Amino acid sequence: MSLLTKAMKRFLVTEAQLRENFEKKTSDKVFYDIVESLHKNVKFLNENVSSKKVNQSVIDDYQRKNLITPRVHEMLVKYKIIDKKSEIL
């Protein structure tokens, strides 16, 4: 046996664990995409445009595309980006 095969380990993962991990990864990606969009809005917006309205439109756009899952919503509320009614803070 080579050294490589001795060091390799097997992990048994159930389908439920695999789905949970996949949902977590996709939720994290959507959350960070939203945060990145909001940051770009603050950075590049003209002073005449209300950043709150533009940021709310970003949240509404993600909701319209059904990308804000309960987990993403929970993360957005936790980090005080939106309130429980999905309105930007």
The letter for the amino acid at 87 is E
In contact, 7 and 44? CB cutoff 8 Å: no
| pLDDT of residue 1 exceeding 80 | no
Q: What is the percentage of the chain residues whose pLDDT exceeds 90?
A: 63
Where in the chain are the domains? 16-78
pLDDT at residue 4, rounded to an integer:
59
pTM: 0.81
Helix axes 51-64, 15-44, angle to 10 degrees: 150
Residue 19's contacts (CB-CB under 8 Å, 6 or more residues apart) are none
pLDDT digits (tens, 9 = 90+) for 15-55: 999 999 999 999 999 999 999 999 998 888 877 778 889 99
| pLDDT of residue 3 exceeding 60 | no
Burial call 55-64: b when 16+ CB within 10 Å, e when fewer: beebbeebee
Residue 79's contacts (CB-CB under 8 Å, 6 or more residues apart) are 35
